[in-house]
Amino acid sequence: MKKGRSRWEIIMDMLKAINEENKARKTRIMQRAYLDWRNFERYLDFLLAEGFITRCETDACYELTVKGKEMLRRLKEVDEMLG
């Protein structure tokens, strides 16, 4: 399990989890990003408010928006540069 992650690393982990699942439910995102429920809710609210993710229309799941895909791409680039 990862420890001492920055806010941006946690956001990147959540965006990656949603992207890899295509459409992911809350529990699956939380598990794949290694977050407890309280922190997960805080970051989920942030991602929704900023328009990086959206709730699926037909199911209780979440998916990346265009803005979220761009943010994930940029975070991966920064992560590679910092290596």
pLDDT at 83 over 60: yes
Kindly state whether residue 20 falls inside one of the protein's structural domains. Answer: yes
Kindly state whether residue 2 falls inside one of the protein's structural domains. Answer: no
pLDDT at 2 over 70: no
Beta bridge partners of residue 62, listed in sequence order: 24, 55
Kindly state whether residue 15 falls inside one of the protein's structural domains. Answer: yes
Kindly state whether residue 75 falls inside one of the protein's structural domains. Answer: yes
DSSP 69-80: HHHHHHHHHHHH
Kindly state whether residue 1 falls inside one of the protein's structural domains. Answer: no
Residue-wise pLDDT for 55-82, tens only, equals 998 778 999 999 999 999 999 999 899 8
Residue-wise pLDDT for 14-54, tens only, equals 999 999 988 899 999 999 999 999 999 999 999 999 999 99
Spell out the residues 6+ positions from residue 71 whose beta carbon is closer than 8 angstroms to its own. 11, 15, 52
Number of domains in the chain: 1
CATH at residue 43: 1.10.10.10
For residue 3, the model assigns a pLDDT of 59
The parent domain of residue 33 ranges over 7-82
For residue 12, the model assigns a pLDDT of 95
Kindly state whether residue 51 falls inside one of the protein's structural domains. Answer: yes
For residue 68, the model assigns a pLDDT of 96
